[in-house]
Homo-oligomer: A and B are copies of this chain.
Amino acid sequence: MTHMAASARSTPSDHAGLGLRERKKLKTRVAIRDATYRLIAEQGYDATTVEQIAEAAEVSPSTVFRYFPTKEDIVLTDEYDPVLESELRSRPADEPIIESMKHVITKALKLGFDEDAEMTRLRTRLQVEVPAVRSRMMESMSVTGQLLCRVLAERTDRDPADLEVRVYSMALVGALMETTLYWAEHGHQDDLSDLMTRTLDTFANGL
């Protein structure tokens, strides 16, 4: 879901009664992400080195890479795919997929989005402006695509590895991603929910 607009500063299931170790890890993770967003907002993406991020987050560069496999991932990583999946599964099984997506997306935007609109805007702006970030976002597409494959396969009683299921899923994910880019390219002026609705209608009915 990185390619959509859901934000993710605080993880879905924040610090519960975890051990000290886990709590520290979470704190470090958040520290790195916050430092990254701050520095990038100040200096831009390319001008911000991992070393600077490490220093700002008060960890070593090694640690940064232990938490995030690549620099782009610091910006992009979120944990909303599982949420999306369970939300989709909670919709009636005979509802058309497009309808389900409309509901789920609208809900997701209402909830997760207002919560931290600033970061979502920065993130989507980077997706438009920084090739490396866009590229990584597109890779994340295939993960969400696989998720969709599973759900779709279940609903239509097919194999998730079927060509048809995979094609339909990736086409859909591609459509959603393009919508987010469109939104960001136009300065986040439109209402994203409206755009998504238009997208899903186009997807269902053709041009």
Chain A residues in contact with chain B, CB under 8 A?
A: 97, 131, 134-136, 138-139, 141, 145, 152, 156, 163-175, 177-179, 182, 195, 198-199, 202-204, 206-207
Residue contact A139 to B139, C-beta cutoff 8 Å:
no
Note all chain B residues with C-beta closer than 8 A to A168. Answer: 175, 202-203, 206-207
Residue contact B198 to A164, C-beta cutoff 8 Å:
yes
In the assembled complex, how far is the CB of residue A101 from the closest CB belonging to chain B, in whole angstroms?
Answer: 13
| In the bound complex, CA of A198 to CA of B163 (Å) | 8
Note all chain B residues with C-beta closer than 8 A to A206. Answer: 168, 204
| In the bound complex, CA of A136 to CA of B131 (Å) | 10
Binding site secondary structure of chain A: helix
| In the bound complex, CA of A206 to CA of B168 (Å) | 7
Nearest residue (CB) in B for A166 is: B178
A170 touches which of B164, B175, B195, B207 (Cβ 8 Å) = B175
Note all chain B residues with C-beta closer than 8 A to A164. Answer: 198-199, 202, 207
In the assembled complex, how far is the CB of residue A94 from the closest CB belonging to chain B, in whole angstroms?
Answer: 14
In the assembled complex, how far is the CB of residue A70 from the closest CB belonging to chain B, in whole angstroms?
Answer: 10
Residue contact A207 to B156, C-beta cutoff 8 Å:
yes
In the assembled complex, how far is the CB of residue A128 from the closest CB belonging to chain B, in whole angstroms?
Answer: 11
Nearest residue (CB) in B for A152 is: B207
A134 touches which of B139, B173, B175, B179 (Cβ 8 Å) = B139
Note all chain B residues with C-beta closer than 8 A to A152. Answer: 207
| In the bound complex, CA of A178 to CA of B160 (Å) | 13
Note all chain B residues with C-beta closer than 8 A to A141. Answer: 138, 174
Q: In the complex where A152-B207, A170-B177, A207-B97 touch, is A135 in contact with B139 (Cβ < 8 A)?
A: yes
Nearest residue (CB) in B for A173 is: B174
Residue contact A136 to B135, C-beta cutoff 8 Å:
yes
| In the bound complex, CA of A166 to CA of B175 (Å) | 8
